[in-house]
Structure 1
Amino acid sequence: MPDPKNRRERGLQVYQRMGWGNNAGVKELDEDLWNFTTDVLFGEIWSRPGLSLRERELVTLGVLMAAKADGIALHMRNAHNLGITFDEIKEVILQCTIYLGMPKALFAMRKLKAVMAEQQGSHAAGKSGGG
C-alpha cells in the first residue's frame, strides 16, 4: 500500500504522466475537489501497485462507457498520451458493446471519432506551422 504521506506527490506524478500538467482546470473550479482528486483518486487509487496506468485507463474507459459519462473523451486523450492506440480504444468499445448495448457503444464511438479528429487537426496544424 502506498505511503499516505506521499500521496500529493504521487498524484502530481500521475497528472504529469497523463499529460495534464498539474490539473489546474479542476483547481480553478474548486480547490477542495482538486485536493481530493489529487490526493485520493490519483495519489492513492491510481498509484496503487497491481495495475499499470495503461491498464487503469483501459478499465476507466469501460466504466465511463457504461455510465455514458462525458469525461470519456478526456480519458480517451489520456489513454492516447499513455501510448494506447485509437485502435485499442476502439477494441475496448467493441468488447464492452455486447455487455452494455448499442446506445452506449454509439455514444463511446462518437466520442472516439471526435477525439481522433481533434488529434488529426492538431497534427495537421502543427505540420502547417499553425497553432
Structure 2
Amino acid sequence: MGKFDDLPEIRRQGLEKMEQVYGFEMNDMDGDFFRYTADHLFGDIWNRPGLSDRDRRLLLIGMLSTHGAQDVLSIQIPAAFKAGELDEDALREIVIMVCHYGGWPVGARLNSLVEDTIAKGR
C-alpha cells in the first residue's frame, strides 16, 4: 500500500506527480492553495496528454527565467537534471536561448544556477 492510497484519486495523482516533478518527497497539506496546487496543477494539468513532462518543464523554465523566479528555478533545474529530462548540453542551450530572448542578465542568473547544478551532479 502506497503512502497516498487513502487519499482521493485526484490528490493521490497530484502528490505523486509533484514528487516526480520536484524530485523530493511530498506530504499532504491543508488549505486551498495546496489543494489547487496538488489537485489541479499537478493532478490535472501536469497529467494532461499532449506534452511530455520534459516539454512542460522547458516551458516552465522559460517562463520562470523571464519572471526572475529563482526560487522555483532552483527547484526545477536540479529536478530536471536529476530526472534525466535535461542533460548538461540541454541546460546550457536553454541558457543561450534565454539570454537572447529574455535578456542577458536573466540568462546570466540562469547560467549560474545551471552551472551550480551541473557541478553538484558530478
TM-score, normalising length: structure 1: 0.74
Once residues 48 and 64 of structure 1 are traced to their aligned partners in structure 2, the CA distance between those partners, rounded to angstroms, is 21
Whether 1:8 aligns to 2:11 is: yes
1:48 alignment counterpart: 48
Flag as ranges the 4+ runs of structure 1 deviating above 4 A: none
Number of residue pairs matched? 111
Once residues 98 and 65 of structure 1 are traced to their aligned partners in structure 2, the CA distance between those partners, rounded to angstroms, is 12
Structure 1 residues 47-97: Cα deviation after superposition (integer angstroms, max 9, x where no partner): 111101111111111111111112112100121133121221111121222
Once residues 103 and 51 of structure 1 are traced to their aligned partners in structure 2, the CA distance between those partners, rounded to angstroms, is 29
Are the counterparts in 2 of residues 62 and 93 from structure 1 also a CA contact under 8 Å?
A: no
Counterpart residue type for residue 39 of structure 1: D
Q: Give the secondary structure class of the aligned counterpart of 1:20.
A: coil
More helix per residue: 1 or 2? 1
Whether 1:80 aligns to 2:84 is: no
- What residue ranges of structure 2 are gaps of 5+ in the alignment? 1-7
Are the counterparts in 2 of residues 65 and 108 from structure 1 also a CA contact under 8 Å?
A: yes
TM-score, normalising length: structure 2: 0.79
Counterpart residue type for residue 20 of structure 1: F
Superposition CA RMSD, Å:
2.0
Counterpart residue type for residue 76 of structure 1: I
2:119 alignment counterpart: 117
Once residues 35 and 16 of structure 2 are traced to their aligned partners in structure 1, the CA distance between those partners, rounded to angstroms, is 14
Alpha-carbon distance, 1:107 to partner: 0.8
